[in-house]
Structure 1
Amino acid sequence: MLQNCKGLPLAITVLAGLLAIKDTVEEWNTVHKNVYEYIRRGTDLGPDYKGEAYEGVSWLLELSYDNLPYYLELCFLYLTHFPEDYEIPVSTLTKLWMAEGFISSASAEVMEDVSYRCLSELVGRCMVQVGKHGSSQKIKTCHLHDLMRDLCMLKAKEGNFVHIINYSVVAKIKETPNGRVRRLAIYLDKTLGKYALGKDENYGHVRSLLYFFPGKYFKNSKVLWSLFKNFTLLRVLKFEGMYVGECKLHHEIGNLVHLRFLSVKNSAILAVPSSIANLVCLQTLDLRVRYLGIEIPNGNVFSKMEKLRHIYLPKYHSARKKHLLFATEAVNLHTVVNVCIQASDLDDFVKLTNLRKLGVITFDSGLWEKEKGTNIIFKHLQSLSVDSVSEAVPWNIVLSCPNIYKLRLDGRITELPENLLCLTNLTKLTLKGINNLKDDHIKVLEKLPSLRMLFLDNWDTPVTFRGPLVCSKGGFPFLEFLSLRYFKELKEWKVEKGAMPSLCRLHIHYCSALKAVPDGLQYITTLKELTIKSMPSKFCRQLQEGGEDFYKIQHVQSVII
């Protein structure tokens, strides 16, 4: 079998992935027979996919595809939506699979875990490649090898699984679908003068509509909101990063009563209509738009969405100081981001026993201080983000989440309590708004037993950390990534020999008063990447070859200044 791979790495890994899930000799014999069966059927998958390299492995790729169970076949074909070389966010992909109905969970296992396991199985079969890992070592992004993508597109086209309208390739604009289209992916070009997707007899049954475009934003005001009239059967609408003028989300969004997934993330939207309350089937709602002060009609607009699992609100919206209500039956909520809460709201949130990710905005620190003695425990929470508007961070919320692995705090941070060490699972920590912490507070950070990623950011902080910053021997034993940003008054940073023994990546950004990198960096043999950004020219010259500090970082493989 290996001889037939012709030395191509993709073929070898795909064959290995296929055999890895076979447990008996008989199953291996079946694969062996099928290999030669596929060779006899021919190696060419079609006139559009010719080429010596591809012909050498096409039989093997097709064998791997035919070996997929039906639910994985659907998940694999769905990857056709994404453009070539696109880094697919796994969090988004798994939610899309759920919205499409590919994922079912008859047992007590939650759908999000089943969906992620499907991705892991495709990776294990070497049909999907891993891009990045997150702080918890779960897969964060993924993509398809070019040859695997060719196969995916071919199979999707054969089954009329998805139709792609590519406005960035002129020759494909006029390509018409075969029969009814259920799923539509649209690639927009930033130079496109006019764009409109009108009602078409082949598009009347579209269930899924995903937009993609080059660059960060699509700045064209001709994108028609009439799709809310013409595509009333939609289950999925991904309409991210669209700049269509300063507009409101059209009230006819309420017509799309079958929607399960709606994302207008990074789009230029000023207001959300009250008709959004009609979308009672929504599982995922992402309203993290570009503008500050977006209008949300009232607090109970989400109260009818009993199937809601993931909701992302804008960070700045008109309902910030209102009490946002969710359906009392919304026990399936896994993600709630950018919700404004008061101390008394914690009782409501602790009832959401499936909640894994929570992002809150707090006001009135005096009220939080009175609630310090709360006994509420969020046992299931894995990720917590707290924004304290012009206030001290309410530590009682943080210490109520003993099992979190990801924590982000933005506010006036004047202390780090000793009992922060009870967060034994914490792997990623972001602190924004650090004031003059004492040395014993820094030592609390050093002792966090599982910490692997630490982001210290003082952007837009009136009173900044002056230091000195001391990393002592044996401190940060498992830290792999450290980022220092906007510590404008930090002059001295010391790293003792034996500190941060696992550090791989270090970023220093806009610490203008820092005179030099610490001597202790020369002892951190694991350091592979150093990025210096927006630092004084003298600081940078010292690090270059021949500079007085070059000896400290000469062992680092990648130095980016």
Structure 2
Amino acid sequence: MLQHCKGLPLAITVLAGLLARKDTVDEWNTVHKNVYAYIRRGTDLGPNYKGEGYEGVSWLLELSYDNLPYYLKLCFLYLAHFPEDYEIPVSTLTKLWMAEGFISSASAEVMEDVSYMCLSELVGRCMVQVGKHGSRKKIKTCHLHDLMRDLCMLKAKEGNFLHIINYSAVVETNETPNGRVRRLAIYLDKTVDTYGPEKDENYGHIRSLLYFVPEYYFMNSKALWSLFKYFTLFGVLKFEGLSVRSLFKNFTLLRVLKFEGMSVREHKLPGEIGNLVHLRFLSVKDSDIRAVPSSIATLVCLQTLDLRTMWGIEIPNGNVFSKMEKLRHIYLPKYHNAGHLLFATESVNLHTVVNIYIQASDLDDFVKLTNLRKLGVITFDGGEKKENGTNIIFKHLQSLSVDSTLFSGTSTFLPISWNIVLSCPNIYKLRLRGEIAELPEDLMCLTNLTKLTLRGFGHLKDDHIKVLENLPSLRMLLASCGNFPESLVCSKGGFPFLEFLSLDLVEELKEWKVEKGAMPSLYRLHIEHCFVLEAIPDGLQHITTLKELTIKSMRCEFCSRLREGGEDFYKIQHVQSVIISYD
């Protein structure tokens, strides 16, 4: 069978992925027979396949597709929404699959876990390629090989799975859809003057609408008119004699609306958005929308709601989410006006709450949210009140972010409240934005903690560094906008599993020494805007695992010591990739 892969690594890996799931000789023989059948199709297409795009090793790729269970075929075809060479965020992709109804789970299974397992299955079959891994080694982004994407697009077109309107192509592509469209992806660029399909009965049953735009896209008036005219996502009274309500009737079947990165002059969603009662996924992330209407409360089927807009958002009242019993993930912007939010009494399945305001001394609002996996809180009392003990333990929480920043013209970092952190014993990721007056030794009890981000942390002392060194599972440490001791020593045996260290705008740090045996697993080191630091740490030459070193916006004297022939070149000459940038 290998002889017919023509030396292409992709073909070999696809074949391996297919055979890896065949346990008997008979199953291997079946694959062998099918391989030759597909070879004949690939070398002599015949009248039934003329013009269908099957050529080269497509026969092998198609074989892999044909062997997918039905639910995985749907998951795979959904990847056709995304533009070529697009790094797909896995967190978003799995939520989209859930919203589309592709994922089913038994009562004991968590739907997000099942969705991720579907992705892992596609990766295991070599149909999807991994982009980046997270701190827990889970897949963070993914993409399609060019040949696999061609197959994906071809199969999606054959089954009328989705329709793509590409305004960003050199030659604009807007083919007439073949029958009713259920899913629509629209690619925009900065020069487009329209971005909606012509009014057509084929678009009356759209269930999924995804926009893909360049960064900082701004709509011009013609594009905005087109959106009003055909998709009516914003409040206007009449177009061509039709009321907004009648226009919205054409799109009441929408389950997915990805409206990210848009900038519109109205800066708000209309009240009529509440008519889309079937919505399960709504994202206006990075858009210029600054207000949502009270009618959003009628979207009771929502599973994912992402309101992390560019400038913050006005929320009508704290009860607007209280009827969304199916809500699983809610992302609020950092700046919003809702001080106290109520969630549905049946929201025990709520997995993600990001950027919610709370008092640092009060976790009572979360007593019913015991299945939270990701929590981001903004404390507004800076931990100044007496911190009462709490019996609430978030045993399922995996990611925690605590922001203790006071905004009054300028940002002021307030003390971190540790009662919140220590109520989450099983977290993998911890992000702290605020002053660290103390670093409790109890932090070392967080045995699962793999990623720690510190920002605006104030002055870290030597005993604080000792605590960080002894975090038992820490793999990634990112520190910015704070002060380290003037003379920093990383002790022998410290940071035993640390793979990535990033220091940015760390002030007062002048001398840095790494004892032999410290950071034995370090793979990547990033140093940026540390203007007082005189030299790369002494002892770095002993870290043989270091493969990537990035130096950015440091003093010229610091950088010149690292160049070949410089005083510190011997410390980094074993590093495979060294990037020095002054920008």
TM-score by length of 2: 0.91
Q: Is the 8 A contact 1:507 1:531 kept in 2?
A: yes
Q: In the alignment, what sits opposite 1:35?
A: 35
Q: In the alignment, what sits opposite 2:392?
A: 376
Mapped to 1, the partners of 2:130 and 2:216 lie a distance apart of 23
Q: In the alignment, what sits opposite 2:449?
A: 426
Letter in 2 for 1:121: E
Q: In the alignment, what sits opposite 2:244?
A: none
- Tell me which moved more, 158-167 or 236-245: 236-245
- Tell me which moved more, 65-74 or 270-279: 270-279
Q: Structure 1's 127 and 369: CA in aligned 2 closer, same or farther, altered over 3 A?
A: same
Secondary structure at the counterpart of residue 466 of structure 2: helix
Q: Structure 1's 558 and 540: CA in aligned 2 closer, same or farther, altered over 3 A?
A: same
Query: For residues 485-542 of structure 1, what are the alpha-carbon distances to aligned partners after superposition, in whole Å with 9 as ceiling and x for unaligned?
Result: 1113322222111110110100111111111111111111111111111111111111
Question: Which residue, out of 302, 306, 309, partners 1:282?
Answer: 302
Query: For residues 235-294 of structure 1, what are the alpha-carbon distances to aligned partners after superposition, in whole Å with 9 as ceiling and x for unaligned?
Result: 0011111112361122221111110000110001111111111111000000000014x2
Mapped to 2, the partners of 1:512 and 1:282 lie a distance apart of 48
* 1:396 Cα deviation from its structure 2 partner: 0.7
**After superposition, where does 1:382-401 map in structure 2 within 5 Å?**
382-390=398-406, 391-401=414-424
Letter in 2 for 1:150: D
- Tell me which moved more, 210-219 or 155-164: 210-219
Mapped to 2, the partners of 1:421 and 1:124 lie a distance apart of 35
Q: Structure 1's 46 and 396: CA in aligned 2 closer, same or farther, altered over 3 A?
A: farther
Q: Is the 8 A contact 1:311 1:336 kept in 2?
A: yes
Query: For residues 206-238 of structure 1, what are the alpha-carbon distances to aligned partners after superposition, in whole Å with 9 as ceiling and x for unaligned?
Result: 000001123353454533245233422110011
- Tell me which moved more, 545-554 or 447-456: 545-554
Question: Which residue, out of 245, 254, 258, partners 2:265?
Answer: 245
Mapped to 1, the partners of 2:182 and 2:189 lie a distance apart of 23
* 1:379 Cα deviation from its structure 2 partner: 0.7
Question: Which residue, out of 303, 312, 315, partners 1:296?
Answer: 315
Secondary structure at the counterpart of residue 445 of structure 1: helix
Mapped to 1, the partners of 2:99 and 2:329 lie a distance apart of 12
- Tell me which moved more, 322-331 or 209-218: 209-218
Q: Is the 8 A contact 2:360 2:382 kept in 1?
A: no
Q: In the alignment, what sits opposite 1:89?
A: 89
**After superposition, where does 1:52-91 map in structure 2 within 5 Å?**
55-91=55-91
Mapped to 2, the partners of 1:501 and 1:399 lie a distance apart of 28
Query: For residues 448-478 of structure 1, what are the alpha-carbon distances to aligned partners after superposition, in whole Å with 9 as ceiling and x for unaligned?
Result: 11000000111xx6xx445322211110010
1:443 aligns with 2:447: no
Q: Is the 8 A contact 2:374 2:400 kept in 1?
A: yes
Secondary structure at the counterpart of residue 280 of structure 1: coil
Which runs of no fewer than 5 residues in structure 1 stay unpaired? none
Letter in 2 for 1:404: I
Secondary structure at the counterpart of residue 31 of structure 2: helix
* 1:106 Cα deviation from its structure 2 partner: 2.4
Mapped to 1, the partners of 2:461 and 2:359 lie a distance apart of 29
Question: Which residue, out of 352, 359, 363, partners 2:380?
Answer: 363
Which runs of no fewer than 5 residues in structure 2 stay unpaired? 234-247, 407-413
Mapped to 2, the partners of 1:413 and 1:245 lie a distance apart of 41
Q: Structure 1's 145 and 218: CA in aligned 2 closer, same or farther, altered over 3 A?
A: farther
Query: For residues 98-147 of structure 1, what are the alpha-carbon distances to aligned partners after superposition, in whole Å with 9 as ceiling and x for unaligned?
Result: 00000011241011010000000000000111111011110001111111
Question: Which residue, out of 559, 562, 566, partners 1:540?
Answer: 559
**How many residues end up aligned between the 2 structures?**
549
Secondary structure at the counterpart of residue 57 of structure 2: helix
Query: For residues 399-454 of structure 1, what are the alpha-carbon distances to aligned partners after superposition, in whole Å with 9 as ceiling and x for unaligned?
Result: 11110010000011122111100000000000112222221111000001100000
Query: For residues 134-178 of structure 1, what are the alpha-carbon distances to aligned partners after superposition, in whole Å with 9 as ceiling and x for unaligned?
Result: 111100011111111111111110100000001122544341100
Q: Is the 8 A contact 1:5 1:56 kept in 2?
A: no
Mapped to 1, the partners of 2:258 and 2:382 lie a distance apart of 38
* 1:367 Cα deviation from its structure 2 partner: 5.5
**After superposition, where does 1:137-216 map in structure 2 within 5 Å?**
137-169=137-169, 171-197=171-197, 199-216=199-216
Mapped to 1, the partners of 2:169 and 2:50 lie a distance apart of 21
- Tell me which moved more, 198-207 or 465-474: 465-474
Query: For residues 299-324 of structure 1, what are the alpha-carbon distances to aligned partners after superposition, in whole Å with 9 as ceiling and x for unaligned?
Result: 110001000000000011112xx211
Q: In the alignment, what sits opposite 2:371?
A: 354
**After superposition, where does 1:314-325 map in structure 2 within 5 Å?**
314-319=333-338, 322-325=339-342
Letter in 2 for 1:384: L
1:113 aligns with 2:113: yes
Q: Is the 8 A contact 2:329 2:353 kept in 1?
A: yes
Q: In the alignment, what sits opposite 2:19?
A: 19
Q: Is the 8 A contact 2:461 2:485 kept in 1?
A: no
Question: Which residue, out of 470, 487, 492, partners 2:506?
Answer: 487
Q: In the alignment, what sits opposite 2:349?
A: 332
Question: Which residue, out of 429, 445, 454, partners 2:477?
Answer: 454
Alignment RMSD = 1.7
Mapped to 1, the partners of 2:501 and 2:174 lie a distance apart of 50
Q: In the alignment, what sits opposite 1:550?
A: 569
Q: Structure 1's 122 and 343: CA in aligned 2 closer, same or farther, altered over 3 A?
A: same
Mapped to 2, the partners of 1:522 and 1:125 lie a distance apart of 40
- Tell me which moved more, 349-358 or 148-157: 349-358
Mapped to 2, the partners of 1:512 and 1:186 lie a distance apart of 45
Mapped to 2, the partners of 1:216 and 1:527 lie a distance apart of 36
Aligned sequence identity (%): 81
Secondary structure at the counterpart of residue 247 of structure 1: coil
Mapped to 1, the partners of 2:316 and 2:20 lie a distance apart of 53
* 1:342 Cα deviation from its structure 2 partner: 2.4
TM-score by length of 1: 0.95
Mapped to 1, the partners of 2:295 and 2:362 lie a distance apart of 26
Q: In the alignment, what sits opposite 2:326?
A: 307
* 1:479 Cα deviation from its structure 2 partner: 0.2
Q: Is the 8 A contact 1:337 1:359 kept in 2?
A: yes
Q: Structure 1's 538 and 42: CA in aligned 2 closer, same or farther, altered over 3 A?
A: closer
Mapped to 2, the partners of 1:203 and 1:558 lie a distance apart of 50
Mapped to 2, the partners of 1:416 and 1:426 lie a distance apart of 15
Q: Structure 1's 209 and 365: CA in aligned 2 closer, same or farther, altered over 3 A?
A: same
- Tell me which moved more, 448-457 or 102-111: 102-111
